[in-house]
């Protein structure tokens, strides 16, 4: 059998208010010019992309899969790669053409986003530059400890405020999509910022904190007053924050960031911003304690909700996920 050369470009042609179609055409042309033999594969609704893409790969004529879009598209394309390998032994590397708002995956590897970066990113793919990436497996468990949902993630997963902001942002997006004039201006980071501010203000008058039992590689700790808990796979979170400068995407361990209250959340936002010159020592002078970020391979999380708090939202890779009170995560 001849060595596969085909490049499968995975993207959503309906994204970015129709602009994606033009971007996809430019990407196909750039891949053709570099003799990467491109073929377009459109993402499918309701999570159907993973299975369909795995079936396409099982024909064994694809040398590489290239995602074009945000972190969600990256996650879908990466999942299909793992599924195809498990089902048929087909293993194809994943190329990056980031176009999303946060672009955590791309930025963590120094790959810029946007149409202007397209020629450079195609050149990186053509050169065959590769980097390994840890994969997380998460289980949501019921009150008996039985799995009710299982999924893979590559960027981050978490419960609490960040997931609640994500939920609010998604509802705002759905509302704005029905208003053509408004959606031209109220989009991307503006929508996220608005959702974040509203949830922060709401949290000042409505209790959203919770308690948790956190186990990292067998060491268990009891947490109270938790507003947000994040498990990080890549270096960057939400495109702009680095909570642990020693983190690596392929070290076999995930970083666990626990935030208590709005002051702690603000300290993390200030101290963790990638362009922020404020050091941990500076934060200590301001009365904000030095942040310790534990890390591990196996993580188990049990949540305890106060009266009146019906659910604690959850997310994986920037997408809403099932909400329970018990999760198991492993690298």
User: Tens of pLDDT along 222-253?
Assistant: 999 999 999 999 888 876 778 888 888 889 99
Averaged over 205-211, what is the pLDDT? Answer: 77
Exposed, middle or buried by CB within 10 Å (0-12, 13-18, 19+), for 292? exposed
Long-range CB contacts (within 8 A, 24+) of 219-225: 223/258, 223/260, 224/260, 225/260, 225/261
Q: Distance (Å, rounded) from C-alpha 137 to C-alpha 154?
A: 9
Token couple for 24: 């996809």
Residue-wise DSSP of 236-278: -BTTTB-S-TT--TTSS-EEEEEE-HHHHHHHHHHHTBTT---
Is the whole-model pTM more than 0.85? Answer: no
Q: Which residues of 276-288 are buried (b: 16+ CB within 10 A; e: fewer)?
A: eeeeeeebeeeeb
pLDDT digits (tens, 9 = 90+) for 136-168: 999 999 999 999 999 999 989 999 988 888 887
Span of 65-74, 222-231, 238-247, 286-295 with lowest mean pLDDT: 286-295
Superfamily of domain 6-127: Probable inorganic polyphosphate/atp-NAD kinase; domain 1 (3.40.50.10330)
Q: Distance (Å, rounded) from C-alpha 40 to C-alpha 53?
A: 11
Name the 3-class secondary structure at 120: helix
Distances (CA, A) of 40 to 26, 113, 124: 12, 20, 19
Q: What percentage of the chain has pLDDT greater than the value 90?
A: 42
Name the 3-class secondary structure at 2: coil
The CATH fold of domain 136-330:
Tumour Suppressor Smad4 (2.60.200)
Domain ranges of the chain: 6-127, 136-330
């Amino acid at each position: 059998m001849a060595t596969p050369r085909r490049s499968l470009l995975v993207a959503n042609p309906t994204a970015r208010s129709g602009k994606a179609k033009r971007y996809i055409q430019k990407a196909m042309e750039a891949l053709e010019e570099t003799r990467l033999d491109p073929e377009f594969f459109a993402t499918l609704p309701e999570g159907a992309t993973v299975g369909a893409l795995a079936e396409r790969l099982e024909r064994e004529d694809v040398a590489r899969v290239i995602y074009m879009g945000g972190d969600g598209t990256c996650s879908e394309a990466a999942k299909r790669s793992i599924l195809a390998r498990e089902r048929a032994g087909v293993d194809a590397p994943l190329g990056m053409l980031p176009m999303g708002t946060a672009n955590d995956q791309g930025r963590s590897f120094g790959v810029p986003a946007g149409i202007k970066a397209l020629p450079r990113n195609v050149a990186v793919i053509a050169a065959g530059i590769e980097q390994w990436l840890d994969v997380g497996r998460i289980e949501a468990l019921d009150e008996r400890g039985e799995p009710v949902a299982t999924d893979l993630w590559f960027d981050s997963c978490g419960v609490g405020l960040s997931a609640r902001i994500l939920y609010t942002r998604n509802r705002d997006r759905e509302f704005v999509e029905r208003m053509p004039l408004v959606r031209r201006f109220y989009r991307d980071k503006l929508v996220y910022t608005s959702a974040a501010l509203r949830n922060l203000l709401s949290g000042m008058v409505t209790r959203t904190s919770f308690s948790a039992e956190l186990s990292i590689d067998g060491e268990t700790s009891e947490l109270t007053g938790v507003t947000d808990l994040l498990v990080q796979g890549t270096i960057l979170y939400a495109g702009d924050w680095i909570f642990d400068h020693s983190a690596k995407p392929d070290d076999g361990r995930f970083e666990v960031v626990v935030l208590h209250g709005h002051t702690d959340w603000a300290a993390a936002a200030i101290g963790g911003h990638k362009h922020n010159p404020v050091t941990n020592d500076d934060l200590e002078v301001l009365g904000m304690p030095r942040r310790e970020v534990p890390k591990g391979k196996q993580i188990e999380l049990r949540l305890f909700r106060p009266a009146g708090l019906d659910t604690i939202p959850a997310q994986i890779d920037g997408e809403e996920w099932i909400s329970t009170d018990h999760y198991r995560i492993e690298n």
